[in-house]
Amino acid sequence: MIGAQWGDEGKGKIVDIYSEFADTIVRPTGGNNAGHTLVVKGEKFVFHLIPSGILHPGKKCVISNGVVVDPKVLLSEIGRLKERGFLADDSQLKLGLLANVILPYHILFDKVREEKLGTRKIGTTARGIGPCYEDKVARVGIRVCDLVRPETFGEKLRANLELKNFLLKNYYGAKEVPFQATFDEFLAYGERLKAHLVDTSLFINSEIQQGAKILFEGAQGTMLDVDHGTYPFVTSSNTTAGGACTGSGVGPTKIGAVVGVTKAYATRVGSGPFPTELLDEDGQLIRDRGHEYGSTTGRPRRCGWFDAAVVRYANRLNGLSGLALTKLDVLSGIPRVKVCVAYEIGGVRQDEVPTSLSDFEAVKPVYEEMEGWKEDITQARELADLPKAAQRYVRMLEEVSGVEISLVSVGPDRNETIIRKNPFRA
């Protein structure tokens, strides 16, 4: 399950639905920059690190090595779930020993760098994601396994702090991170997380061998991929389908289907190009009706029309076997709806997402306009239950995206869903 746009497509809800058919749900990449919301019988849950399958008792959930883990956030998420009567058995949740840990200096760097960038800022979630991935790639990262080995942890932390504190103090004029307090705090986290620590690649692959069905829960979205997104306005990991393999240590031959999740319109949080963005009352209408405010930071999301060029790009990068279309209900009551089918740049039509950021910033969307629908569609459980105009809209999105729509979501709740095809039963 991969986000086919700029994140917040509704992955949490869709993962919750498909979890019923899976045995194990795995978060392969990203960190607590993600905010996945699900609503079950009117009750709302937001997950940042724990896979959205956790509400299904008996399903195993895995945070694998490709994730950057803020242990404080994870522990508070675990605590909140337990308070609400979930995760009664610690063995339901596994945490990768080789996952990199977000430390206080990563969060500080994220903040001071954004401040220094001023108007050119990326608009990160300020959770320390980028700086933590940088350390991982620089091979100086501290990993979950280090938190249960005081000596190794102490050595690595001391070595890291030497340079980090020098930069924080002398370059950014920020406060330094103390060794002892950080050491004590994170060792305690390691102790509290011990019951969850495993070799997650070994665990997932042995589950596969025993015939278990695995659902990989992507975070962020295709356009935020560090290699293929709107760089530098991206996150610091591979959010595309390949990330599920590298992040969890599972070979590509084991993946049976890739579902892309897309909204019936488009949103983006943070800076960077967004060709179909609506800065008028239509944008505000979508924001209000869709409650488009970040699940992680509460920031208002930028809203715009559906961009088929982006979804076609997501199809190319992820090899999609189907699309899950969410938030169709949000468009009810909008008299005329638009779909961006291609771009125009310097008067020339272009069907693909441009490789250069400045070209992408300059494109003008080519729209097709359609009649909207007024009816409340949240009760629809089959495509035929939808008003004719909404059916035409779904068919149009399918056609211009070039991917079959296998699920349509018509409300936030688990049951407000039209399932056309189940990837686990195909």
- Residue 275 interaction partner, one of ligand IMO, Mg ion, ligand GDP, none, beta carbon < 5-8 Å per kind: none
Binding status of residue 123 toward ligand IMO by CB under 6 A: yes
- Residue 129 interaction partner, one of Mg ion, ligand GDP, ligand IMO, none, beta carbon < 5-8 Å per kind: ligand IMO
Q: How far is the CB of 299 from Mg ion (least distance, A)?
A: 11
Among 28, 35, 273, 423, binds Mg ion (CB under 5 A): 35
Sole residue written with tokens 């169709």: 328
When the beta carbons of 292 and 416 are compared against Mg ion, the nearer one is: 292
- Residue 24 interaction partner, one of ligand IMO, Mg ion, ligand GDP, none, beta carbon < 5-8 Å per kind: none
Among 4, 17, 34, 342, binds ligand IMO (CB under 6 A): 34
- Residue 235 interaction partner, one of Mg ion, ligand IMO, ligand GDP, none, beta carbon < 5-8 Å per kind: ligand IMO
Catalytic residue numbers read 8, 36
- Residue 97 interaction partner, one of ligand GDP, Mg ion, ligand IMO, none, beta carbon < 5-8 Å per kind: none
Q: How far is the CB of 329 from ligand GDP (least distance, A)?
A: 5
Tell me, residue by residue from 233 to 272, as one string, x for binding to ligand IMO by CB under 6 A and - for no binding: --xx--------------------------------xx--
Interaction site with ligand GDP (CB under 6 A): 3, 7-13, 34-37, 39, 295, 326-327, 329-330, 409-412
Q: What are the distances in angstroms from CA 343 to CA 91, 306, 335, 353, 400?
A: 50, 13, 24, 8, 13
From 84-92, 192-200, 214-222, 347-355, span contacting ligand IMO (CB under 6 A): 214-222
When the beta carbons of 9 and 77 are compared against ligand GDP, the nearer one is: 9
When the beta carbons of 129 and 340 are compared against ligand IMO, the nearer one is: 129
Q: How far is the CB of 237 from ligand IMO (least distance, A)?
A: 8
Q: According to the 3-state scheme, what is the secondary structure of the chain? A: CEECCCCCCCHHHHHHHHHCCCCEEEECCECCCCCEEEEECCEEEEECCCCHHHHCCCCEEEECCCEEECHHHHHHHHHHHHHCCCCCCHHHEEEECCCEECCHHHHHHHHHHHHHHHHHCCCCCCCCHHHHHHHHHCCCCCEHHHHHCHHHHHHHHHHHHHHHHHHHHHHCCCCCCCHHHHHHHHHHHHHHHHHHEECHHHHHHHHHHCCCCEEECCCCCHHHCCCCCCCCCCCCCCCCCHHHHHHHCCCHHHCCCCEEEEECCEEECCCCCCCCECCCHHHHHHHHHCCCECCCCCCECEEECEEHHHHHHHHHHHCCCEEEEECHHHHCCCCEEEEEEEEEECCEEECCCCCCHHHHHHCEEEEEEEECCCCCCCCCCCHHHCCHHHHHHHHHHHHHHCCCEEEEECCCECCCEEECCCCCCC
- Residue 10 interaction partner, one of ligand IMO, ligand GDP, Mg ion, none, beta carbon < 5-8 Å per kind: ligand GDP
* β-pairing verdict for 364-371 and 336-345: antiparallel
Q: How far is the CB of 297 from Mg ion (least distance, A)?
A: 10
Q: How far is the CB of 290 from ligand GDP (least distance, A)?
A: 6
Binding status of residue 220 toward ligand IMO by CB under 6 A: yes
Q: How far is the CB of 269 from ligand IMO (least distance, A)?
A: 4
- Chain residues binding ligand IMO by CB under 6 A are 3, 7-8, 33-36, 122-125, 127, 129-130, 219-221, 224, 235-236, 269-270, 295
- Binding residues for Mg ion, rule: CB under 5 A, are 8, 35, 295
